[in-house]
Amino acid sequence: MDPSQAFSMRVDDREASSPVLAALRRHPEFQIQVERLPVGDYLIDDSLLFERKTLMDLAASIKDGRLFAQAERLASAGPRGALILEGTAKDLTESRMRREAIQGALVTLTLFFGLPLLRARDPDESARLMLFAARQHRSFARGAIPRHGKRPRGKARLQSHILQGLPRIGPERAKRLIEHFGSIEAVIAADAEALTAVPGIGDAVAESIRWAVREIPTGIYSPTFPSWSRTMAQGAIKKVVLAYSGGLDTSVILKWLQEEYGCEVVTFTADIGQGEELEPARAKATAAGVKEIYIDDLREEFVRDFVFPMFRANAIYEGEYLLGTSIARPLIGKRLIEIAAETGADAISHGATGKGNDQVRFELTAYALNPDIKIIAPWREWDLLSREKLMDYAASRGIAVEMKRDGTKSPYSMDANLLHISYEGYDLEDPWVEPGADMWRWSVAPEDAPDQPTLIELMFERGDCVGIDGQRMSPAEVLAELNRIGGANGIGRSDIVENRYVGMKSRGCYETPGGTILLKAHRAMESLTLDREAAHLKDELMPRYASLVYNGYWFAPERLMLQAAIDATQEVVNGVVRLRLYKGNVMVVGRKSETNSLFDASIATFEEDAGAYDQKDATGFIRLNALRLRVAGRKGRC
């Protein structure tokens, strides 16, 4: 046979011992090369891709969940995919798989994944089927492909029908694309960034669309896809590190990553003082097939390197929010990047939604620390755009999740760490509704707090609290103890409507008992030890610093610059502050610094100062400062 007329056959090296490969070698029309394929078992002319399964393997892959993950990869690959089912009815009988389960799987593969199913009795017939397919493919490539059946009536239905020919575009995504762009022409012309502006079209789907319109220049079907291997190599993600809590969102994401990307997932769970047992997350990850599981105790690093530097700045966002969630994200993002480097992962993933701030915080951190890292944000790609849909997805795949709050509503979305616990969603989505008393977890209601006040003393060194009531503690121990004391006294509750970085307003409730006490005490210590102008300049810079933290710019040059200036002021913030805690209130009742106090009682006294301060000096001071006001007053401008 003329070699130029032969079919190129690339066989996955995991099929090297298969009798099908031996049967293929008996057909001189195939030029065979064995190598590792990213998807499928047999690739003909870079255009037809086959996954071959014996019926026994089909039954096993239904049981262990591999089948639909493989089907998704096969259906979304560039070449046309098909599944060859090899074996006899006897094989199915021996598998002891229920007939209904087999039928359900076949319906899903054909109707919902759009995969053709080809039946073969044995390896020889499987080889012949692929040869027939190769010949038909080449024959059709010489002319137009006949399209049978009635065309959809109406322009909108026809447009939807056409768009559904693109990879990973079903009826819902097709509808959204048309509604957003207005025409098929605009969809085809759109770049990836414009496509991702459509709800449900994430980076991966957008790239699939761009790939299709770039690489299929002559209509819906083209006989060859010359850059498929290159595209797959560039886009393939082999291992991803997932920020994993074991809750609803990240449990669904773990399964979704395995199915959608077909990649290995490394889970990372951070212990930053959320007060939950973390070993169940390990058990869940193990049950999901995860081999590399990280559960890291980051409590000391969190408070020492993130919370304390922020409190040196007295940072508070929009006058109320103590940034409890915001300050945890750069630490988690930093550790994600470190684990990716340790495990050789080429991507990270998180469970932040496309509406919130956390997506920005995680990803700005990641790109600052590794500019070339790939990031998978499932909420910007999938169609599971409500908590109810997540619940349904989890139930359909046997993913265990916490019980709902009641039969119809989802529970609050909560985030906790050593600094705070937050509550969003559920009835809080109406800013007029008062939170229920049973929502709060860390603190008693102020009216139920003890009738006797609690007195405590906080020790400061270089702006950081290093002990309570004369007992030195580590940073994490300090914050944990202040949370305990503050919560018992009804301190730290807040109900806020804040402005998210992405542009919307959001209502959240927070408990920050330790942080509330710490901020009050730190400002009291600064009031005694800082120079007036240094203190005032800090206060001017604070809103900018708080916005940088809130918006995710922890590792940005401007935040680092501000931190260096702030830390320089803290060298003198040393001493002790005494506080009275009573029914939700924090009152400063004393402060002292043996080494750095700028308070001079001999000058400040209302009694005889023995000449320490000459009150006559005030006359010239006032006249000089009044000069511009007197000039303006004479001109009638005051």
User: What is the average pLDDT across 94-106?
Assistant: 73
What is the pLDDT, as a whole number, of residue 236?
A: 63
Candidates 433, 396, 149, 418; CA nearest to 305 is: 418
Q: Tell whether 60 is in a known binding site.
A: no
Asked if 64 and 126 sit in the same domain, the reply is yes
**Does the annotation list 600 as a binding residue?**
no
165 and 35 share one domain: no
CA dist., res. 344 & res. 270, Å (int): 19
Pair 104, 42 in one domain: yes
The amino acid that residue 55 corresponds to is L
CATH number for 137: 3.40.50.10130
Q: What's at 479, amino acid-wise?
A: L
Tokens of 522: 């730190």
Contacts of residue 48, defined as CB under 8 A and 6 or more positions apart, other chains included, come to: 79, 80, 82, 130, 133, 134, 137
400 found inside a domain:
no
Classify residue 363: in a domain, yes or no: no
Return the CATH number at 204. Answer: 1.10.150.20
- Active site includes 329? yes
Spatial distance between the Cα atoms of 559 and 506, rounded to a whole number of angstroms: 25
Three-state helix/strand/coil letters over 337-355: HHHHHHHCCCEEECCCCCC
Which position among 160, 413, 443, 506 bears the catalytic label? 413
Tens digits of residue pLDDT in 250-281: 999 999 999 888 899 999 999 999 988 898 99
Which residues does 515 contact at the CB level (< 8 Å), separation at least 6? 307, 311, 322, 324, 419, 420, 479, 482, 492
In the beta sheet, which residues pair with residue 586? 581
For residue 272, the model assigns a pLDDT of 97
Whether the CB-CB separation of 338 and 344 falls below 8 Å is answered with no
**Where residue 402 falls among pLDDT bands split at 50, 70, 90?**
low
Q: Is 358 annotated as belonging to a binding site?
A: yes
Residues 200 and 123 in one domain: no
The pLDDT assigned to 217 comes to 37
Q: Percent of the chain scored above 90 by pLDDT?
A: 60
Residue with tokens 């001109």: 635
Residues 50 and 72 in one domain: yes
Q: Is 244 annotated as a binding residue?
A: yes
Report yes or no: 41 and 50 within 8 Å, Cβ to Cβ. yes
User: What average pLDDT is seen over the chain?
Assistant: 88
Please state which of the ranges 200-204, 289-293, 547-551 shows the lowest mean pLDDT. Answer: 200-204
pLDDT per position as a tens digit, 137-167: 877 665 434 444 555 556 777 777 778 777 6
Is 367 annotated for ligand binding?
no
Task: State the pLDDT at residue 255.
Answer: 94
In a domain, residue 72? The reply is yes
Instruction: Name the pLDDT band for 519 (thresholds 50, 70, 90).
Output: very high
Residue 104 vs residue 580, higher pLDDT: 580
In this model, does residue 103 exceed pLDDT 80? Answer: no
Nearest Cα neighbor of 8 from 79, 58, 91, 101 is: 79
Residues 50 and 180 in one domain: no
pLDDT tier for residue 314 given thresholds of 50, 70 and 90: very high
Kindly write down the DSSP assignment for every residue of 252-297, as one continuous string.
Answer: HHHHHHHHHT--EEEEEEEESS--S--HHHHHHHHHTT-S-EEEEE
Least confident of 47-51, 455-459, 549-553: 47-51
Whole-angstrom CA distances from 456 to 453, 459, 545, 577, 611 are 10, 10, 29, 8, 38
Which of the residues 45, 358, 415, 464 is marked catalytic?
358
Q: How many angstroms separate the Cα of 160 from the Cα of each of 200, 217, 604?
A: 16, 20, 80
Domain annotation covers residue 482: no
Asked if residues 260 and 204 have their Cβ atoms less than 8 Å apart, the reply is yes
- Judge whether 61 is annotated as a binding position: no
Residue 551 is assigned to a ligand binding site: no
How much is the pLDDT for 376? 95
The closest of 211, 254, 261 to 231, measured between CA atoms, is 211
135 has pLDDT over 90: no
Q: Are residues 101 and 199 in the same domain?
A: no
Active-site residue 249, yes or no? yes
Q: Looking at 177, 200, 230, which one is the last position of a domain?
A: 230
| Catalytic hit among 329, 335, 380, 591 | 329
pLDDT of residue 214: 61
Rounded to an integer, what distance in angstroms lies between the CA atom of residue 533 and that of residue 539? 10
Asked if residue 124 and residue 223 are part of one domain, the reply reads: no
State the amino acid at position 261 in one-letter form: Y
Angle 192-378-82 (CA atoms, 0-180°, nearest 5)? 75
Strand partners, 580: 455, 587
Q: Please tell me whether residues 24 and 126 are part of one structural domain.
A: yes
Question: Among 186-190, 461-465, 513-517, which is the least confidently predicted range?
Answer: 186-190
Residue ranges making up the domain that contains 619:
609-634
Residue 305, marked binder: no
208 is in an annotated binding site: no
Q: How far is CA 203 from CA 192, 225, 369, 457, 624, in A?
A: 7, 22, 21, 53, 63
CA distances from 363 to 55, 195, 357 (A): 44, 20, 10
Residue 404's pLDDT band, with cuts at 50, 70 and 90, is: very low
**Rounded-to-integer distance, Cα 455 and Cα 441, Å:** 23
Which of 84, 118, 141 is the last residue before a domain boundary? 141
Of 12, 41, 45, 249, which one is the catalytic site residue?
249
Among 106, 141, 176, give the residue marking a domain's end: 141
Angle at 94 between CA 90 and CA 100, to 5 degrees: 90
Q: What is the pLDDT of residues 199-248, one digit of tens each?
A: 888 877 887 787 766 643 333 333 333 333 333 333 468 999 999 999 88
pLDDT digits (tens, 9 = 90+) for 563-580: 999 999 999 999 999 999
Q: Evaluate whether residue 439 is within a structural domain.
A: no
Q: What's residue 408's pLDDT?
A: 40
Question: Across residues 332-356, what is the average pLDDT?
Answer: 96
**What's the pLDDT score for residue 623?**
96
**Number of domains making up the chain:** 3
Range of weakest confidence among 173-187, 267-281, 417-431, 450-464: 173-187
pLDDT > 80? residue 98: no
- Is residue 468 a contact partner of residue 486, using CB atoms and an 8 Å limit? no
Q: Of 42-56, 61-75, 324-338, 388-402, where does the model show the most confidence?
A: 324-338
Backbone angles phi, psi at 154, to 5 degrees: 90, 145
> Do residues 61 and 187 both lie within one domain?
no
Euclidean distance between CA atoms 349 and 351, whole angstroms = 7
Share of the chain above pLDDT 70, in %: 90
Strand-by-strand arrangement of the 575-582 sheet:
471-472, 464-468, 454-461, 575-582, 585-592
Q: Are residues 50 and 103 in the same domain?
A: yes
Phi and psi at 633, nearest 5°, equal: -65, -35
Name the nearest CA neighbour of 361 among 557, 502, 193, 186: 502
Is 63 found in the same domain as 188?
Answer: no
Taking residues 315-339, report their average pLDDT: 98
Residue 191: inside a domain: yes
Give the residue among 317, 481, 510 at the shortest CA–CA distance from 413: 510
pTM comes to 0.66
Question: Residues 597-617: what's their mean pLDDT?
Answer: 92
| Residue range 44-71: mean pLDDT, rounded | 84
Judge whether 52 and 9 are in contact, CB under 8 Å. no
How is residue 151 annotated by DSSP?
P
**Ramachandran region, residue 469 (left: φ > 0; alpha: ψ -120 to 50; beta: rest):** left
